[in-house]
């Protein structure tokens, strides 16, 4: 089973920025955004591993696609 990030820790990190108003469902939206980012990173790393003819995703596969996925996530 997948473990979720502790919501209290996430809320406290978001509230440290006192000049930003945080809505009630903001922590859930942040969690969903992180999950979508990790999913796209895993998919790209899986494709890179498949190109290298390996069945296992290794750290080098993730590092190879991380910059591209980060650029796409920024918008």
Q: What is the CATH number of the domain that holds 70?
A: 1.10.20.10
What are the pLDDT digits (tens) for 35-56? 899 999 999 999 999 998 998 9
In a domain, 69, yes or no: yes
In a domain, 46, yes or no: yes
Q: Domain limits at 62?
A: 26-74
**Total tally of structural domains belonging to the chain:** 1
Q: Which residue has the higher pLDDT, 35 or 15?
A: 35
Q: Which helix (H) or strand (E) holds 64?
A: helix 59-74
In a domain, 47, yes or no: yes
Q: How many other β-carbons are positioned within 10 Å of the β-carbon of residue 33?
A: 11
pLDDT band at 2 (very low <50, low <70, confident <90, very high): low
pTM here is 0.74
How far is 11 from 42, CA to CA, in rounded Å? 26
Q: What is the pLDDT of residue 1?
A: 54
In a domain, 5, yes or no: no
């Amino acid at each position: 089973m997948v473990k979720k990030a502790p919501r209290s820790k996430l809320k406290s990190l978001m509230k440290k920025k006192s000049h930003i108003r945080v809505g009630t469902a903001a922590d859930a939206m942040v969690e969903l955004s992180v999950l979508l980012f990790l999913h796209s990173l895993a998919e790209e790393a899986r494709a890179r591993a498949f190109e290298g003819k390996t069945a296992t995703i290794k750290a080098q596969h993730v590092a190879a696609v991380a910059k591209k996925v980060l650029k796409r996530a920024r918008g």
